Structure 1
Amino acid sequence: MKQVFYKKAIVLAAGFGSRLSPLSRQLPKPMMPLWNTPMIGHCLATLERIGVCEALINLHHNPDPILKYIRNEYKGDVRISFSFEPEILGTGGALVKAQWFLDDNPFWLINSDILAEFNPMGLVELISKPRSIAALWLHDTLGPRTVELDGETIKSFSSSAPGLPGTFTFCGLHLVSPKIISYLPQSGFAGIIEAYERAIQDGFNIRGSVLSDSFWADIGTPETYLEAHKLTLAAKTQGASGSIFVTSDNMRDPLKKQGVDASGFVALGNNVVIEQGAVLHDCVIWDNASVKSSSKLNKAVIGSNAVVSGNVRRLAMSAVEAVGEGAWADHKLHGVLKALKWDVNKTTICSFEPRASDRSFTRLVSGKKSVIMVSYKTDRAENLLYVEHSHFLKQLGVKVPEVILDFPDQCVTVFEDMGARSLLSMKNESSAKLNKIYKNVLEQVLVFHEVGRVRARESKLNLTAPFSTELYQWEHKLFTRHFLGRYLKLSSAEISGIEKELAGVSRELSGLPQVLVHRDLQSSNVMLKKGVPYFIDFQGMRFGAAVYDLASLLYDPYMELTEKSRTLLFDYYCANASLEAFDYKLFRLAAVQRLAQALGAYANLSSRRGTEWFASYIKPGVRMMLEALKHTDSLPRLERVLTKT
């Protein structure tokens, strides 16, 4: 086939970069540097390599840095136009607004947050086929893999079993016929997928192809931003595709010569100061940042002008930059700093990984002082109960972080900072040391269960609905739908048989005496301060069977305790409990129940953008459930399925 070059491209650069917040308050995602070149620069260079002569960039969120870069620093030969969106329009809306830029030929449509090195001819050939209205670049191993393909034709963009063989990830690059405009609403916000689906109904095809000998990465989250640096550096070392994106040096070895303990990769911006004695591993540090000698940075992005010390993971930035101003201001953060009477110019913020509970956690650091700020949504009623429950547990004598500030009208609470040590962080300690710590935890759990049971009823504490047959069945549905159905792709008949077995578990547990349970008693929710356990994430506490909490703690997939340790610790709890003791059968059935809930959640969350990392806990979860099942004889179908898995 004759080589064809399509000369026009639309670059999508208007988004908020929410998953990179608060870094995206300082710089819009297209301007975030990868090896000291902004992503928009890498994107335009990619387009130039495949023959593009003209590009239109759509703009909305914080456009000034992009405009300044194109006007003052961009040295390429692609002619640039801009499309300003006072209200963000989405991909489809952006195309409608940019109609004036297009002609009758197909055009490239590319996300500005991807790195792409590829041969375009695979997509050029697909768009040339009869009834093709778009050709999309797909990847068969990386990313969430939510696209289903039949030959070279896309059948679904939302697979019911993401990540399994036969599913693909859309890489953020389309070659599109301008005919697609007729399938878009002519004003307002619009997505592109809906337009594709309407075109399919009209007899057109959306093609998809895995491009060989290519390189792809995206920077949608701090984790993937760091990973993109690592992957491109590895490509350079191997002389492979992707090496073209390494446009500055890995500063690891020069820093080591200056007395910095550097490993992995270190990408530095301009005027960065790193003191001797600092420890750095896989870090990106933006312009004018300062890293103190006490710093231990592990897989971290440090924003411009930030001053960091101590342990930092994921990201840290100056509070001034995070608060922002005007339309991009963070009024919640500003209000918290004002209430704390902290100088915004002397405060650093460190943002934690996203969680599954519609809450975000941020550490605020000013000198030797630090607190944890929690922002939450009200969609889950239990998020509104955290402060009340905290005061209640403290009165019981259960160790919980101190509440420092509470702004319920803004859905923000500030807590005592418990540091970085959790029960989970002790995973590699000896069995003897772990067992001692777990016994301390169980002593607190006994107070939670037994004293809490009485006091909660006396005080008429606000709680979510107690465990019941219906709640256990809801957990089963989470498991059967997301794990057995979407993840394992079992047949309806197989799932129905397992549901009948699980119904017996819920009947057994529903008949047990109820105490006040934590509800999510896993290792990451037990912090250790000077060796003393403190509980967090207890807002979902309710009345339920004590064995549910014990199973959550002792069959935790994050820890994978040995059978010997589980037995010792379960016996320790039972020996010290004043209420009715439980036998091992109920303990293991509770483990099946809890792990069904956990595996359902892992499968569901791993299919969502931003929480894909939950997939890494599926195999440990299966192993833990098999440990429980091998001691029971009432769930043979489930045991057979998981053994095959």
Structure 2
Amino acid sequence: MELPEKLLQETIRRFPHFPWKTPAVYPLEKGGSDRSFYRISINERQSLVLISYQKTRQENEHYAPLATFLRSLGIRVPRIYAHQPDQGILWMEDLGDLDLCACRSLPWPRKSALYRQALQEIFLLHTHKNPQLPDLPLAPPFTRALYLWEQSYFFENCLGRFFGHKPQTLQKLAQHPRLHAIADKLGALPRCLVHRDFQSRNILVRRGRTYLIDFQGLRWGLASYDLASLLFDPYVALLPKERSELKAYYEALWEVQGQSLPEDLESLFDWVALQRLMQALGAFGYLGLVRGKKEFLAYIPVGIQLLVEVLERIEGLETLLSLVKECCHKLPSPHSPAARPPSRSCPLLTQRDP
């Protein structure tokens, strides 16, 4: 019996009280994840999602308890039906396939409404006040070492593997005092709980409401990192005026609560955006060229253009800016068909405003 069929039979055994009529299992594609996702149909109108994961990565076991924690904060995430960590199987609510990335063709008023919803959800996480959380399985926090690793990840997998720059050039750039100073400063700032990969593909849209997924990397970090992940998202490539509008909206959430903005959301925001873009571009190069998931390479042109925009506002990194601009000349326009995968259709285009 093949694995999907085994998982279906295990699901039927695990949930005998479900109204089974047309049981079937369908594999789902899920980006760069090392987990396997399946939709299990119960009948013509009901289904659930099963995640099968390897126990080699401990964070895969964290999804269920983190989902329970996030729901306790009032954050919309999938409901967990059952979890068997000894077998590496998780059953959860099926929220459909529509994510914020697939909504990128919506008119801005409708799209921005969804973005604001997502920002409201993540704001609840950023302002959670309990600093102890002794039983919560968090990933290692953002530190100076992690910021430096993100920089190296970019140099190795994007500028090196994808663009073919020589190791000597990249090693010299990786030791740039300005980059180390950025890692030092960001690593010393006060931290809050962050999603770590808060981008459009990790925000599902169901019946006009947004839900967060893929939060197994939850950790202590900077609120601005999540904000930058969403605003400087190569999957969507928001316009500068749209990013400014959403950033102002997020900042207003702090003001409404009478809280002062963290330093990383003000003068240091471009530094954080730089870090996030380096991490994302490194991931695209690694997933595309090492893991063989070529579709991720199509997002490098957009990411590189966003990186240029951010670098132009940061003093002291002119050498890196010049090298990244050279990379831009080797690529097709980020708006050309050759630079991006075909857009997925968005059912919300024919629905009423959320």
Considering the TM-score relative to the shorter chain, is it more than 0.5?
yes
Instruction: Report the counterpart of residue 392 of structure 1 in structure 2.
Output: 69
Distance 1:496 1:543 in 2: 29
C-alpha distance in 2, partners of 1:612/1:545? 31
**Is contact 1:450–1:579 with CA below 8 Å preserved after alignment?**
no
Q: CA deviation at 1:626?
A: 1.5
Q: Quote how far apart the aligned CAs of 1:462 are.
A: 2.1
Does residue 1:600 correspond to 2:258, yes or no? no
**Cα distance in structure 2, aligned partners of 1:609 and 1:594:** 21
Partner of residue 184 from structure 2, selected from 507, 511, 525: 507
Residues 329, 595 of structure 1: alpha-carbon distance in 2 compared, 3 angstrom cutoff: closer
Match of 1:558 among 226, 232, 235: 235
Contact 2:5–2:25 (CA<8 Å) still a contact in 1?
no
Letter in 1 for 2:261: E
Q: Would the aligned equivalents of 2:8 and 2:25 in 1 still touch at CA under 8 Å? A: no
Task: Show CA shifts across 1:375-430 (max 9, x none).
Answer: 11122111111101000000011111000121111101011011122111110112
State the 1:348 CA deviation.
2.7
Structure 2 residue 107 is the aligned partner of structure 1 residue 430: yes
- The CA deviation at 1:344 is 8.0
1:580 equivalenced with 2:256 (yes/no): no
- Number of positions where the alignment pairs a residue of Structure 1 with one of Structure 2: 318
Number of the residue aligned with 2:8: 333
- 2:40 equivalent among 342, 356, 364: 364
**Which of 1 and 2 has higher RCO (CA within 8 Å, sep 6+)?**
2
Contact map agreement 1:347 1:364 (CA 8 A) in 2: yes
Letter in 2 for 1:351: P
RMSD between aligned residues: 2.0
TM-score (norm 1): 0.47
Question: 1:463 aligns to what SS in structure 2?
Answer: coil
Q: Which secondary structure state, in structure 2, belongs to the residue aligned with residue 410 of structure 1?
A: coil
1:419–1:354 Cα change, 3 Å: closer
Q: Counterpart in 1 of 2:311?
A: 629
Q: Distance in 1 between matches of 2:169 and 2:267?
A: 25
> How many angstroms does 1:505 deviate by?
2.4
Q: Secondary structure at the match of 1:422?
A: coil
- The superposition leaves residues 545-588 of structure 1 with CA deviations (integer Å, 9 ceiling, x where unpaired) of 11111110110000101111111111221222225344554221
* 1:347–1:367 contact (8 Å) kept in structure 2: no
Quote the Cα distance in structure 2 between the aligned partners of 1:610 and 1:368: 36
Question: Does residue 463 in structure 1 map to residue 138 in structure 2?
Answer: yes
Where does 1:181-220 land on structure 2 (aligned, <5 Å)? Answer: none
Unaligned runs of 5+ in 1: 1-323
> What does the per-residue CA deviation read over 1:204-250, in whole Å, with 9 as the maximum and x for residues that have no partner?
xxxxxxxxxxxxxxxxxxxxxxxxxxxxxxxxxxxxxxxxxxxxxxx
Q: Which has the larger radius of gyration?
A: 1
Q: For 2:77, what is the secondary structure of its paired residue?
A: coil
Deviations 1:298-334 (A, max 9, x none): xxxxxxxxxxxxxxxxxxxxxxxxxx37xx7853332
Q: CA deviation at 1:367?
A: 1.8
Q: Is the 8 A contact 1:588 1:631 kept in 2?
A: yes
Q: Is the 8 A contact 2:8 2:24 kept in 1?
A: no
Q: In the TM superposition, what are the counterparts of 1:92-241 in structure 2 within 5 Å?
A: none
3-state DSSP class of the match of 1:346? coil
Shift of 1:491: 2.4
Q: Which runs of 5+ in 2 are unaligned?
A: 328-354
Amino acid across the alignment from 1:607: L
Q: Which whole-Å CA distance do the structure 2 matches of 1:334 and 1:433 have between them?
A: 41
Give the TM-score normalised by structure 2. Answer: 0.84
Return the alpha-carbon distance in structure 1 between the equivalents of residues 45 and 112 of structure 2.
33
Match of 1:418 in 2: 95
Asked if 2 retains the 8 angstrom alpha-carbon contact of 1:373 and 1:415, the reply is yes
Q: Distance in 1 between matches of 2:292 and 2:165?
A: 26
Q: CA deviation at 1:525?
A: 0.4
Of the three residues 35, 59, 64, the one matched with 1:382 is 59
Which residue pairs with 1:491 in the alignment? Answer: 166
**Partner Cα distance (1:576, 1:351) in 2:** 39
1:639 paired with 2:321, answer yes
Residues 412 and 364 of structure 1, relative CA distance in 2, 3 Å threshold:
same
Q: Which residue of structure 2 lines up, in the alignment, with residue 401 of structure 1?
A: 78
Residues 420 and 329 of structure 1: CA distance in aligned 2, closer, same or farther (over 3 Å) = closer
Three-state SS of the structure 2 residue aligned to 1:409 is coil
Corresponding residue SS for 2:197: coil
Name the residue aligned to 1:542. Answer: 219
Cα distance in 2 for residues equivalent to 1:536 and 1:477: 27
Deviation at 1:479, TM superposition (A): 1.2
Q: For the Cα contact (< 8 Å) 2:147–2:183, is it kept in 1? A: yes
Could you tell me whether the CA contact under 8 Å between 2:37 and 2:49 is conserved in 1?
yes
Q: Deviations over 1:64-119 (max 9, x none)?
A: xxxxxxxxxxxxxxxxxxxxxxxxxxxxxxxxxxxxxxxxxxxxxxxxxxxxxxxx
The structural deviation recorded for 1:346 is 2.1
Q: How many Å separate the matches in 2 of 1:609 and 1:580? A: 39
Identity %: 33
